[in-house]
Structure 1
Amino acid sequence: MVHTVQTQENELRSLQLQKLNRLLHFVLNHNEFYKEKLAGLKLPLQSLEEMKKLPFTMKKELVDDQNNHPPYGKNHSYPLEEYVRYHQTSGTSGKPLKILDTKKSFEWWETCWLEVYRSSGVTKKDRVFFAFSFGPFIGFWAAFEGAKRLGALSISSGSQTSIERLRSMIENRATVLVCTPSYALHLAEVAEENDIDIKNGPVQKIITAGEPGASVPSTRKQIESLWGAVLYDQVGMTEMGAYGYSCSEQKGIHVNESEFIVEVINPNTLEPVEVGEKGELVLTNLGRESYPVIRYRTGDIVIRSDQQCECGNSYQFFPGGILGRADDMVIIRGINIYPSSIESIIREFKEVKEFRIVYYTENEMDQIKVEIESDSEQIVPILATKLRERVGLRIQVEKVPDNELPRFTMKARRVVDNRKKR
């Protein structure tokens, strides 16, 4: 048994090294961003240990690349006419990243989602319901196309209201629901208000993405209790890919190592952490030549582990999944929110004297609002529109009386977190 496990490990590392060298050879010849970044690199690498020769990639670099070479930057490896899909990040840590995929690279996304479905026990016999609005967020688009490729009936809900979505799930006998954890809770609240029995309904499995939830035991238990269904997690990034998923054991996240190389580093020393220690997740995508990201510092915190999950999956396993962020980011309705990015937008308006960001929970969904002091009556709708355009989320703007908000002589604390603890 030990010999078999070791053989599988050796075969996986050999496959990763082969894919990595192929990717590096390609980008050094076709990708202007990495041509400059990896100048002088000698190929082929002889082992994965030699990855330490490669510099890390930061999101700021990708953003700066697009700012300096608009609109798509130099990290797109093919001529524009080769790309068929457009996506973008939320832009809450600055200007949104615009990311394009070729037909081949989007099929790679679908393949990654097939792994998610396989681990969740979803088959072509299922009917998969997608409760989202089909904007430029790539995650659920890839999930939708992946389900279609699996052969399952894929049901979109577009601009439907929550009550319409619930009725559609029941009428179409949907067996799988794909949405964010917050929205799964919100749908359950709407169902209760309208006397819709979802606990004994057709949905048997729920796959959530976009924010933490399914890997958090208390949240998972709550959603499973409300829906009478089994909850699974999926993790990914627009710029990286759909790299992780939970399994039948529901104790953490597996990384799809056939398509991603995993590292866990100390964010301060940049050295690998020891087994059992927390560190920052670093990923390299191996199948997206059209938009490669090599040694990408994700900012996600995980526990490095050498244990194999009881489900039998031999891929890298992170107990407890993604534990948090290396910064002060929060996630509201599937969108990454950074206070500094909100502030940067507000500060564009001189009419705003002072402000405060408030996180809170309403109808089981986490929300965000901005309180401002201003003499202008017109500023509220203007600022709300700007926040919606830049952040990709409807943020309530509330005008409060002058001097109601605190002032600071030292470091300001303009964020209040009143969200319900789950």
Structure 2
Amino acid sequence: MDRTARLREIVARAKTLPFFAPRLREVSPEDVSAEDLSALPLTTREELTAHFRAHAPHGGFWRDDVVQLHLTPAPDIGRMPEYLTRRDLEAQAAAIARHLARCGVGRGDRCLVVLSYHLLAGGWLFHEGLQRCGAAVLALGPERAETVAEIARAYGFNVLVANPSFARRLGEAGARFELLLAAGEPFSAVPGYREGVEAALGGTALDAYGLSETGIVAAETRERDGLYVLEDACILEVIDPVTLAPTPDGEKGEVVLTSLTREGLPVLRFRTGDLTLKGSRSGRTVLPRGVFGRTDAMVKVKGVKVYPRELLFLLAGTPGVNFRNYQLHIRRGEGGSDVVTLRLEGDPATDTRELGERIRRALGIGMNEIRLEPSVTGELVVDERF
């Protein structure tokens, strides 16, 4: 694929659509390239939902070449539509098929897809890519774990496409798969999660990242050395969520996506709110730690930018802790230094030394105290320094 040519075609179409027309009035398609998106404005999900609320139901995106429609839950408007053209479906399937081939999936594999095929895009994101690389697919969709396990055993399916939490339930129900293609939930960024799922299924589990608005945009290979960006599916940037400037490789920031598989509803410099850091390996863009938090509560502590929601992924792999209930308490210590206490809801007898080391490595700073309490409520961050 000529990525710049495809991008310019999408920008040209966007200029004819009510949502983008005023935003792109001064932008020519020739102003952008796959290497330079600076002429394009950033967009947010909130701006899109506001547009659909004001211009329901189709927001001016409907065109006669739309061949597939998905609906995804959206605040304030209930559901937001997503539109795909035949070219979108072809580009999406080709990008995913190329990735699956790198993972060794192809002719002779029998693939069971239990992601939704109904309102949401989940199952479709993998289905056509699997078929294109020669695999056989059963579009089962959501079903009871016992039913899926029975079907898997009876018909010899060796590849599973599922949310990791449901995949684990399938393993507990007796299903076994050589390979899990996991998506839809935090997975590889949660310490210990992959190991538990693999033990239950008896096979290898690979992670993938994407949005309903964009499809799959980054995924692991069998080397499991990070999520590689599907270059023919999107252009991925990482920006500082405050300054909006690009972050250097290896520095945390917000994922911004421009899709090359969405002309029906263009996705141009879309701010995801997801936290990552990127690097480069063998000429490809890679997310070494995947996506590991949200950027909507950043605070600077001990001179380091800390994203408290990143802790959710670290805590999820800690026994004896309710990973959903925690609080960062920050105050000034003697000499003006920052003192940080992490309050956790959980068993006070839990040994937190290993957790403290994981947090130090991930955030770049250590906690002065990790305190386990029967209940933790209130704001995510309590900052008493100012």
* TM-score, normalised by the number of residues in structure 1: 0.66
Where does residue 292 of structure 1 map in the other structure?
266
Alpha carbons 1:214, 1:231 under 8 Å: kept: no
CA distance in 2, matches of 1:207, 1:127: 13
Task: Give, in angstroms, the shift of residue 249 of structure 1.
Answer: 1.6
Note if contact 2:116-2:123 (Cα within 8 Å) is conserved in structure 1: no
For 2:247 and 2:257, the matched residues in 1 are separated by: 15
For the 8 Å contact 2:239–2:245, the answer to whether it is kept is yes
Give the aligned residue type for 1:22: E
1:304 is the counterpart of 2:272: no
* Selected match of 1:241 from 211, 215, 218: 215
Letter in 2 for 1:225: A
The structure-2 alpha-carbon separation of the partners of 1:108 and 1:212, relative to structure 1 and needing over 3 Å to count, comes to: same
Structure 2 residue aligned with 1:178:
161
Q: Higher relative CO (CA 8 A, sep ≥ 6), structure 1 or 2? A: 1
Residue identity opposite 2:378 in structure 1: R
Letter in 2 for 1:149: R
Task: State the 1:247 CA deviation.
Answer: 0.9
1:133-212 paired onto structure 2 within 5 Å: 133-158=116-141, 160-189=143-172, 191=173, 196=174, 198=175, 201=176, 203-212=177-186
Q: Is the 8 A contact 1:144 1:154 kept in 2?
A: yes
Distance 1:230 1:36, change over 3 A: same
1:88-127 aligned at under 5 Å gives the runs 88-91=71-74, 95-127=78-110
**Could you give the per-residue CA deviations for residues 190-240 of structure 1, whole angstroms, max 9, x where no partner exists?**
x2xxxx3x4xx4x21000110111454511111112222111111111112
Higher helix share: 1
Residue 60 of structure 1: aligned partner:
46
Q: Which amino acid letter does the alignment assign opposite residue 106 of structure 1?
A: L
Q: Provide, for residues 293-352 of structure 1, a one-character-per-residue CA deviation record: whole Å limited to 9, x for no partner.
A: 11111111111323x1xxx5x321011101111237xxxxxxxxxxxxxxxxxxxxxxxx
Q: Which residue of 2 aligns with 1:406?
A: none
Q: Once the 2 structures are TM-superposed, how far is the Cα of residue 251 of structure 1 from its aligned partner? A: 2.4
Q: CA contact under 8 A between 1:56 and 1:297: conserved in structure 2?
A: yes
- The question of whether the paired residues in 1 share the 8 Å contact of 2:8 and 2:32 is answered with no
Shift of 1:99: 1.1
CA distance in 2, matches of 1:105, 1:414: 42
What residue number does 2:23 align with?
37
Is the contact between residue 16 and residue 258 of structure 1 (CA under 8 Å) also seen in structure 2?
yes
Indicate how the Cα distance of structure 1 residues 187 and 22 shifts in structure 2: closer, same or farther if over 3 A, else same.
Answer: same
Contact 2:72–2:80 (8 Å) recurs in 1:
yes
CA distance in 2, matches of 1:43, 1:134: 34
Shift of 1:255: 0.8
- 1:26-62, Cα deviation, whole Å (9 max, x unpaired): 322x323222211112441275565222210111111
| Distance (Å, rounded) in 2 between the aligned partners of 1:266 and 1:146 | 33
Q: Secondary structure at the match of 1:220?
A: helix
Q: Offset at 1:178? A: 0.6
Q: Identity of aligned pairs, percent?
A: 29
Give me the whole-angstrom Cα distance separating, in 1, the residues matched to 2:89 and 2:3: 20
| SS state at 2:37 partner | helix
**Does residue 413 of the first structure (1) align with residue 368 of the second (2)?**
no
Q: Look up the match of 1:319.
A: 288
Q: CA RMSD in A?
A: 2.7
- Moved >4 Å (runs of 4+): 46-50
Residue 20 (structure 1) aligned with residue 10 (structure 2): no
**What does residue 401 of structure 1 align with?**
none
Q: 2:55 aligns with which of 56, 59, 69?
A: 69
- Aligned length in residues: 306
> Secondary structure of 2:9's partner?
helix
| 1:351 equivalent in structure 2 | none
| Match in the other structure for 1:9 | none
1:275 aligns with 2:249: yes
AA at the equivalent of 1:70: A
CA distance in 1, matches of 2:142, 2:233: 33
Say whether the 8 Å CA contact 1:259–1:285 is kept in structure 2: yes
Offset, 1:65: 1.2
Shift of 1:91: 2.5
> Structure 2 stretches of 5 or more lacking a match?
298-315, 325-376, 381-386
